[in-house]
Amino acid sequence: MKTIMNFCFALLLVIGTSCSTEPDAPELKSVAAKASSKQTESIVGLGGITGTATLHRNANGITVNFKAEGLYPGAYTIWWVIWNKPQNCITPGACVEGDFFIDVEDKEVDIRYAGGNVVGNNGKGNFSGHLNAGDDSPESINGLMGLPLVDGLEVGNTFDAEIHVVLRTHGPAVPGVINDQIGSYAGGCDNPLEIPPFTEYPDEIGKCADIAAAIFAPAPL
């Protein structure tokens, strides 16, 4: 978890008077415009990893498109780190590593699988993931991390949650193991809870690490 967090960040309507019985079109447009949001952030990572990630939010859930360059060929996964109550972080709305160790239950943080893929020799990785609000699948890995269990992204909280998307390497793709490598936290890992030094980008079979992330601040309506 230290590696994950080391990468680790009133509606005003003008209403005029009118005798018309027609619907107030400007107000309807204003409400409709706030039914979704789009945020794009730079990816921060080891060894010259660059790229951008875009997070789409609506009332039903969140979707991320994560595009990284400068990766070693191999198997990778991306993970949601969802802070349902970022207002309770040490710095409200900018959760950091220390928030895992101080009253973590008050922040209702949850870590879940978002997606996975194999990266080729060009070093470019394209990943995407979607999570519905209130969906408790795929299974949270909070128990593995020693964190309180949380039921994913809270319904009604899609815009107020702080979202971190973390990129994890599972080393070179291994025939017969690839589906596990790109579909689980421990896939292909000798020791899934081993945390290498922050400057290390492992490229050996069996060595896994969280190596990059994009951080999205709350986007309240």
- Per-residue model confidence (pLDDT) at position 193: 87
CA distance 126 to 96: 26
CA distance 134 to 153: 6
CA distance 207 to 61: 33
Spans in the chain with pLDDT lower than 50: 1-33
The strand ranges marked E within the chain are 36-42, 44-45, 50-58, 61-69, 74-83, 109-119, 125-132, 162-169, 209-216
Average predicted confidence (pLDDT) for the chain: 85
- Residue 182 contacts residue 175 (beta carbons within 8 Å): no
- Per-residue model confidence (pLDDT) at position 34: 54
- Per-residue model confidence (pLDDT) at position 116: 98
Domains and CATH numbers, the chain: 2-8+37-216 (2.60.40)
- Per-residue model confidence (pLDDT) at position 221: 72
